[in-house]
Structure 1
Amino acid sequence: MSSRWLKSYMPRSLYARAVLILVLPVIVLLLVVGVAFIQKHLEDVTAQMTSAAAREVDLITDTMADAETQHQAIAAIRQDIASLEMKARFLGINEGPDIGYRRWYDFIAPQVEADLHEQLLDLVAVALPTGDQARLYMRTHLGLLELTLDRRRLSPTAPHQLIVTMVFFAVIMTSISFLYMRNQLRPITRLANAAQAFGRGRVVPYSPGGAIEVRAAGSAFLDMRARIERQMEQRTLMLSGVSHDLRTPLTRLKLGLSMLPEDEAAPLQQDVDEMQLLLDAFLDFSRGAAEGPPETVQPEVLLRQIVEDARRAGHEASLVSVEGEGTALLRPTAIRRAVENLIGNAVRYGNKAEVSLSMTPKTIRFRVEDDGPGIPQDQRTEAVKPFSRLDPARNQNQGSGVGLGLAIVSDIARAHGGVLRLGKSERLGGLCADIIIGR
């Protein structure tokens, strides 16, 4: 439960997660090493160096304490400042401390100033400008004294170099690692694209590549795809062959019945018509969504043609709304059969069918609603199974089918990588059937 909130902030794509796995440890390592280096090493060394410099400055100020003039003071400390490699001078009456501009990356300078102010009570200002020299301004009884010394005596030279070097090489190594990781992830992406395309009824060229495990997964996918294609082909051939072979004896039966008296032939003719209807349904189910390759079509234009054809066939169907626009990769013949089946069911069990289309950047939804009795929620899963009849829950007076109408629609939706969803129509009160397909 506590980790669910974190999942919403985690990246979803494989590339983004790989970048996070690579970058996060590097950032943590830089922070840990940087903090440890600054606190445990750099600050301690700087404190020792400033303490030594403060003692030297105290020595100089103590030496000149008895001098009565500035010249006597300079003469008194001349030997000391030469030994300590410093320079000293008194500022004029109208002259003040020249602080200058500090380097922006000199992050140890604030500690240097704080340590010197803490140890030198008469310190007025510290100048740590760009360059190798540092200036200390001391308040004395003879005026403001400027002491110039080497900057390297107050803190380590270029303390930022370690962090800059760490960041520089971290960026280089992370970039190299990402390029290598991208080459390793590319076969997985190709496998995912091939599987997604096959799930939507398209076959794209694919050859296994990458690491051993990825190659094994790719080979298994190719075997699975070939096995599914063989099974689909065998199912189509079997149902088509059986349905085609049964048409010949049905035709002979029709010819024989036409020679019998009408009162004797009527019951038999009804049986023959039901067998003919069953064979036609078998053929539709066997064809499924395998009629032709996917094409780039305009769903709105296709749906308007379907509704217009249904109205010409005597069905009360209407296109009530269209949301969105654009094209999609579909099998138009299969989509036409699916929508026509839904319209046929709607007018069979109700009085009218209302069709709508909704398109978003990611999905397409074909919706057919009717004003019939609908399907109870606990029977909707059973309704899409082949040869399933739910006439007692519908309207028996409007005729019955063979239980393949919704199964054909569901099969076509799955072949496009989509799904058939059944619900209750909020507007008409009957069945609401949605074909939802990813774009």
Structure 2
Amino acid sequence: MFGWLKNYMPRGIYARAALILVMPIVFLQLLVSVVFIQRHFDGVTRLMTSAMNIELRFLIDTANAAETADAALLAVRQLGDPLEIETELPADQVLDADIKPFEDLTGSMVIETLREGVPSLITVSLADRRRVLLWAETRHGPMEISFRRQRVSASNPHQLLVIMVVLGGIMTAVAYFFLRNQLRPIKRMARAATDYGKGRITPFTPTGAVEVRAAGTAFLDMRNRLERQAQSRTMMLSGVSHDLRSPLTRMRLGLSMIDEKEAAPLLRDVDDMERLLNAFLDFARSDAGNVAEKVRPSEIADLVLADALRMDQDVTLLPMQGPDDPVSMRPLAVRRALDNLIGNALRYGTKAQIGISVTDRAVRFTVEDNGPGIPPDRYEEALSPFVRLDPARNQDKGSGVGLGLSIVADIARSHGGVLRLGESASLGGLKAELVLAK
């Protein structure tokens, strides 16, 4: 029902906290101002103006009782001096309409009460905040009457409203200061979680309220548990690889002592087993890698290109898009990922291209080839470990266990990014995009 409000709500937690603080205060001030203050000042103004109407009617009746205009002026001035009312009869000029400033909150009540209590009233002017000026009809012509504004209305409610707004602002600022101290641990925990998703370990100590501390402690426990699991996987596969290398070495040594033709098939089996072990070890180490550091994306691409050219591979580097500023990443892991993508491209094709694109939020490495590609409906399957897409990629051109793209995807996820597959527009084969969050 109120889903449309989400488009207008602030995104940040500080802005939402400020909105939660400000809205009740503003609503309360409006309620008090309109319902209580204004009604109270209207009532007081009506009582004070009603009392003033008695004096005004007496002055007008006195002027009407005099025989001449001079006698009327003398009589009303004799009464007006002790009452602190100034009069002029006949008046020099009379306004055609009442004057009430827009910001005068009690002016309407003053004019309304004066007209109810003084039937001969002509017009009223409240242009001067300190005095009330009005004109009344008498038998000797219009009479101008002036008296202090304080006699018909209480002190201007603007002062009270200003005090309420100022105090409300001060209390909001104080409340926001204390609330910010409660929100700061949540921001730090969110930053630590974001950095961990990008492969960086940020020091974090749970602080704040009990619930926030509990969430921070749970996050630390989860992060430590994931780190232990990654280390255990790496150590386990490393140990298995180390333990199997010795028997394989002995088998290779034993095969070298028999007839070469008879030993050839067995030697190929031993080579395949060694490649399998290396693939398992690379997969285990894909999210361990080296420590993150500031590196220019072009430096990593240049190193990968130099290795490919040294091996006489047909690999080219496209012009870089975006600024070549240092970016925090694990250079050895990213280089391993690009090596896997290039090896995968050249295994099924004859040519590969490397592209780099840098934006404010991510670094994108692309590797394209001219091979047969992968059907779009099998992109997700191709990123799964131990999957070999025989119909799409000719396995006669290379051997493997289906871990190449999985290793690259793990490295991308450890940098807070993703590995995307698509079709190369320039070469017609597979296009792999390694996206790393900055």
Both structures adopt the same fold (TM-score exceeding 0.5)? yes
- Give yes or no for the alignment of 1:296 onto 2:308: no
1:272 aligned partner: 270
Q: CA deviation at 1:319?
A: 2.1
CA offset at residue 412 of structure 1? 0.8
Residue 62 (1) aligns with residue 61 (2): yes
Cα deviation for residue 255 of structure 1 reads 2.5
Specify the SS of the correspondent of 1:220: helix
Aligned amino acid, residue 62 of structure 2: T
The SS at the match of 2:320 is strand
1:333 and 1:69 map into 2 onto residues whose CA distance is 112
Q: Could you say which residue in structure 1 is the equivalent of 2:377?
A: 378
Q: Which residue of 1 aligns with 2:434?
A: 435
The whole-number CA distance in structure 1 between the counterparts of 2:119 and 2:394 is 102
For residues 100-158 of structure 1, the C-alpha deviation after alignment (integer angstroms, 9 at most, x for no partner) is x9988543335534664676654344144243x33324455545533222212222212
Q: 1:176 to 1:91 in 2, by over 3 A?
A: farther
1:33 corresponds to: 32
Counterparts of 1:88-127 in structure 2, within 5 Å, are: 88-90=87-89, 106-109=104-107, 111-113=109-111, 116=114, 122-127=121-126
Whether contact under 8 Å (2:231, 2:288) holds in the other structure is no
Q: Look up the equivalent residue of 1:60 and give its one-letter code.
A: L
Contact 2:286–2:410 under 8 Å retained in 1: yes
Q: Tell me the residue number matched to 2:398.
A: 399
The CA deviation string for residues 404-426 of structure 1, in whole angstroms up to 9 with x for no partner, is 10111111111112122223334
Tell me if structure 2 keeps the 8 A contact 1:289–1:331.
Answer: no
Q: Are 1:247 and 2:245 matched, yes or no?
A: yes
> How big is the shift at 1:22?
0.7
Q: Which moved more, 1:81-90 or 1:280-289?
A: 81-90
Counterpart-to-counterpart distance in 2, 1:321 and 1:116: 84
Distance, in Å, in 1 between the alignment partners of 2:391 and 2:88 is 111
For the residue of structure 2 that corresponds to 1:8, the secondary structure is helix
Q: 1:103 to 1:267 in 2, by over 3 A?
A: same
Q: For the residues of structure 1 that align with 2:112 and 2:316, how far apart are their CA atoms?
A: 83
Change (3 A) 1:181 1:46: same
For 2:305, the aligned partner's letter is V
Give the secondary-structure state (helix, strand or coil) at the position aligned to 1:323.
coil
1:366-398: CA deviation from partner (whole Å, max 9, x where unpaired)? 222222222233332222222221123222232
1:260 aligned to 258, 261, 265, which one? 258
Structure-2 change in CA distance of 1:423 and 1:79 (3 Å): same
Q: How does 1:160-179 map to 2 (within 5 A)?
A: 160-179=158-177
Paired residue for 1:313? 311
Q: Distance in 2 between matches of 1:435 and 1:40?
A: 68
Long gaps (5+) in structure 2 = none
Structure 1 counterpart of 2:406, which letter?
A
Amino acid at match of 1:258: S
Matches of 1:115 and 1:395, distance apart in 2: 98
Greater shift in the superposed pair: 138-147 or 269-278: 138-147
Q: Which runs of 5+ in 1 are unaligned?
A: none
1:300-346 Cα deviation digits (max 9, x unpaired): 23223322322332322222242211221000000000011111111
Q: Give 2:351's aligned residue.
A: 352
SS state at 2:153 partner: coil
Cα RMSD between the aligned structures?
A: 2.7
Distance 1:318 1:8, change over 3 A: farther
CA contact (8 A) 1:358 1:366 kept: yes
Q: How many residues are treated as equivalent by the alignment?
A: 434
Given candidates 128, 149, 152, the residue that maps to 1:151 is 149
Percent identical pairs in the alignment equals 50
CA distance in 2, matches of 1:213, 1:240: 40
Larger mean CA deviation between 286-295 and 249-258 belongs to 249-258
Q: Specify the code of the residue in structure 2 equivalent to 1:17.
A: R
Cα 1:29–1:120, aligned 2, differ >3 Å: closer, same or farther? same
Give the secondary-structure state (helix, strand or coil) at the position aligned to 2:185: helix
The 5 Å alignment of 1:417-436 reads 417-436=416-435
Q: What TM-score, normalized to structure 1?
A: 0.89
Residue by residue, what CA displacement relative to the aligned partner does 1:258-306 show, whole Å, maximum 9, x if unpaired?
3333321221121111111112112212221323210001112322332
Q: Please give the TM-score of this superposition, normalised by the length of structure 2.
A: 0.90
- TM alignment of 1:325-364, pairs within 5 A: 325=323, 326-364=325-363
Task: Tell me, in whole angstroms, the C-alpha distance in 1 between the residues paired with 2:307 and 2:368.
Answer: 17
Q: Tell me how far 1:23 sits from its aligned partner.
A: 0.8
1:238 aligns with 2:246: no
The DSSP-based 3-state class of the residue aligned with 1:210 is: coil
Which residue does the alignment assign to 1:282?
Answer: 280
Question: What letter matches 2:211 in structure 1?
Answer: E
- The AA in structure 1 aligned to 2:18 is V
- The question of whether the paired residues in 2 share the 8 Å contact of 1:64 and 1:77 is answered with yes
Alignment of 1:221 with 2:227, yes or no, is no
Q: 1:219 to 1:127 in 2, by over 3 A?
A: closer
- Confirm whether residue 369 of structure 1 aligns to residue 368 of structure 2: yes
